[in-house]
Amino acid sequence: MVAELEDIAGITFDYIVIGAGTAGLTVAARLAEDPSVSVVVLEAGAANLNDPKILLGGSFGATWSDPQYDWNFSTVSQKHSNNRPWPWNRGKGLGGSSAMNFYAWLKPPAADVNAFEELGNPGWTWDDYSKYTTRTEKFTKPADEQLSELPHGCDTYTLGGQGPLPVAIPRTSHVLDKLFFSALEQKGINMLDDPYGGNNNGSFVASATIDRAQRWTRSDSTTAFYLPNKDKPNFKVLIDANVSQIIFNEVKEGGDLVASGVQFIHGGQTYIVNATKDVVVSAGTINSPKILELSGIGRPEILQKIGVHVKVDLPGVGENVQDHIFVGVSMQLDPSVAHETFDSFRDPEFAKLQLRLHELGQKNRHQFGISSFAYFPFTTADPEAAKSFHQRVEDFIVEAKQSGTLPPGLAEQYDIQLRILKDDSVPDMEIVGFPGFLSFLSTPQPEANHLTVGSVLQHPFSRGTIHARSKDPLEQPDIDPHYFESPFDLELLVEHIKFIRKLAQTEPLKSGLVCEIDPGPNATSDEDIGNYIKDTCITCFHAVGSLSMLPRDKNGVVDPQLKVYGTKNVRVADLSIVPLHVAAHTVATAYAIGEKMADILKGV
């Protein structure tokens, strides 16, 4: 199935792709469509093929913290989050994080994507984004039986039907969904006819990366791009290959570096594979900057600290990190009403029954997903608080510009963030209805059913860093997202929770709830809520920006062709290139980057 070492070590290929994750397998498979082009993918993890922990729907978190599937990253202690380190789970093995995420298939508003072009990247627009995600996806509309349960028909969604990645509407906790969406409507957040056409400002039932034809199992970059191409002679994937550095030809002083190959560790030994065209770094927001730094590309003081010779002075490497933050408000549901939630999986007998029903191809809870979403501007939640917040953000930006304290490129990003905040047609708040208990302070009561309304910060003002800790390629990098370094981020999340509490007091949802479990009745003040957030919030696993696509003098690392500045043929294709965060979960964006990278290399 996967390549043997002797097929790779010392061999020359046209292209080397570092990382068999979401974007990496996408770009590699697309390049291999040309039989005259040879591609090798180096993956640090295992193959994990046909693994029920990955494929089985409803098994959220089954692979987390297991080193077979998870890098098990952790941040440094976060000063502004009560000094706690945050776990950063990331997919390791074929499929990367597309093999361990929560399945949600979402697309950002057009304004967020068009901001990429505004920041100095011609051609990076919504139209391009839509073209590439449509190329990837294969949407199957719900059957009549499922449609009758949905609060919205979903037949107006502009999703592609010819791509290799199956996408579908999961089965939903439809009784609970109707309460949730009806309450949102009472708050002025109406259901969208099409959240996939560049406007996600409203509520909707989201699609997911599931394959209805395969008993509603997960679809990821392994099933979409590896398995259909695995037998091609020009497409090779080597697992258990940890990249230590990119190898460069000798160049004259002042010239751009030319990559000739990649050095990797396999079975404790070091090997080299050669490239005649390009090396594509697709190791993700966390590992991609580390690989560049170990190859001599980055901020000189960082490289000197770890004993790496500086080959390209590129201070933007590992900077401008932005992440989505999740915090949950969990509420107990009325026990007199039958609800289908993930809480039931706490009962071992129920879990066994659902697995048996799955094996028989019958309706079961593994076909359910997280599909109840709403995106909206702060103004919708609280017009007066939003007006005050907008003014304070604007005052901060003006003062920061005048003082000259912002790093290169950040002023332009903040200007766009402020504009988005003020634009009521573009969302900056997300809430998601999760049918089950998903907060991290209390312990759920046995046999109780819950609704957790999660809040996700979309456009953070804090900026973090990710840098190599040492020359050891097997050592994890230092991850410091600087959570809540900007107080605006915490303030927004506090307002999110206050809105969720108002929503919980809105009919018909109010009558369907017994009580709030977390944060609980003792969290009454903004300070109380803020401490709850700092103690219990988690990453939403959407970190971007560590190798930002920006002009070089604006702390950029790659140009609009995704080529690393100071090199002739090193590219980056993963979420690390996103220069400014988007109001959507990010897996669709990762696929789009992989698709576009392939077209760039093909000269299309």
Structure confidence at residue 149 as a pLDDT band (50, 70, 90): confident
Q: What angle do CA 47, 465, 461 make, to 5 degrees?
A: 115
For residue 508, is the peptide bond before it cis, meaning its omega torsion is within 30 degrees of 0?
A: yes
Q: Please enumerate in sequence order all residues whose Cβ is within 8 A of that of 112, keeping only pairs 6 or more positions apart, or say none.
A: 420, 426, 580, 581, 582, 583, 584
- Segment 258-265 shows an average pLDDT of 98
Percent of the chain clearing pLDDT 70 (strictly above): 99
Give the pLDDT confidence score for residue 287 in this predicted structure.
99
Does the residue 342 lie in any domain? yes
**Residue 168 tokens, joined:** 């579908």
Start-end of H helices in 32-161: 52-55, 110-118, 126-136, 144-147
Q: Do 273 and 343 reside in the same domain of the chain?
A: no
Give the pLDDT confidence score for residue 135 in this predicted structure.
98
Give catalytic residue positions.
542, 585
Give the pLDDT confidence score for residue 252 in this predicted structure.
65
Does the residue 174 lie in any domain? yes
The 3-state DSSP class for residue 525 equals coil
Q: Please enumerate in sequence order all residues whose Cβ is within 8 A of that of 171, keeping only pairs 6 or more positions apart, or say none.
A: 146, 149, 216, 363, 367, 368, 369
Name the residue among 229, 207, 223, 230 with its Cα closest to residue 51: 223
Q: Amino acid identity of 434? A: F
* Whole-angstrom distance, CA of residue 596 vs CA of residue 574: 11
pLDDT at 24 over 90: yes
Structure confidence at residue 255 as a pLDDT band (50, 70, 90): confident
Average pLDDT score, the chain: 96
Does the residue 498 lie in any domain? yes
Contact between 321 and 285 (Cβ < 8 Å): yes
Instruction: Render pLDDT for 269-325 as a digit per residue (tens, 0 to 9).
Output: 999 999 999 999 999 999 999 999 999 999 999 999 999 999 999 999 999 999 999
Q: Do 534 and 418 reside in the same domain of the chain?
A: no
Q: Do 420 and 497 reside in the same domain of the chain?
A: no
Does the residue 212 lie in any domain? no
pLDDT at 137 over 90: yes
Torsion, CA 393, CA 119, CA 101, CA 204, rounded to 10: 70
Does the residue 84 lie in any domain? no
pLDDT at 525 over 70: yes
The 3-state DSSP class for residue 272 equals strand
Q: Do 269 and 341 reside in the same domain of the chain?
A: no
Q: Do 106 and 230 reside in the same domain of the chain?
A: yes
Q: Do 236 and 114 reside in the same domain of the chain?
A: yes
Distance of CA 9 to the CA centre of its chain: 32
* pTM (2 d.p.): 0.97
Name the residue among 300, 371, 344, 323 with its Cα closest to residue 436: 344
Does the residue 369 lie in any domain? yes
Q: Do 119 and 244 reside in the same domain of the chain?
A: yes
Contact between 604 and 352 (Cβ < 8 Å): no
Q: Do 42 and 174 reside in the same domain of the chain?
A: no
Contact between 158 and 131 (Cβ < 8 Å): no
Q: Please enumerate in sequence order all residues whose Cβ is within 8 A of that of 448, keeping only pairs 6 or more positions apart, or say none.
A: 332, 333, 335, 343
* Whole-angstrom distance, CA of residue 282 vs CA of residue 448: 43
Instruction: Count Cβ atoms within 10 A of the Cβ of residue 105 and give its class: 0-12 exposed, 13-18 middle, 19 or more buried.
Output: buried
Q: Do 533 and 584 reside in the same domain of the chain?
A: no
Total count of domains within the chain: 3
Q: What angle do CA 133, 210, 101 make, to 5 degrees?
A: 80
The 3-state DSSP class for residue 572 equals strand
Torsion, CA 438, CA 439, CA 445, CA 447, rounded to 10: -10
Q: Which H or E run contains 181?
A: helix 174-186
pLDDT at 89 over 70: yes
Structure confidence at residue 143 as a pLDDT band (50, 70, 90): confident
Residue 338: give its domain's CATH number: 3.30.410.40
Does the residue 154 lie in any domain? no
Q: Do 278 and 196 reside in the same domain of the chain?
A: no
Task: Select from 506, 541, 576 the last residue of a domain.
Answer: 541
- Domain coverage including residue 269: 1-75+89-140+221-322+466-477+543-604
Does the residue 236 lie in any domain? yes
Q: Do 276 and 360 reside in the same domain of the chain?
A: no
Residue 130: give its domain's CATH number: 3.50.50.60
Q: Do 182 and 264 reside in the same domain of the chain?
A: no
- Segment 430-446 shows an average pLDDT of 93
**243 among annotated binding-site residues:** yes
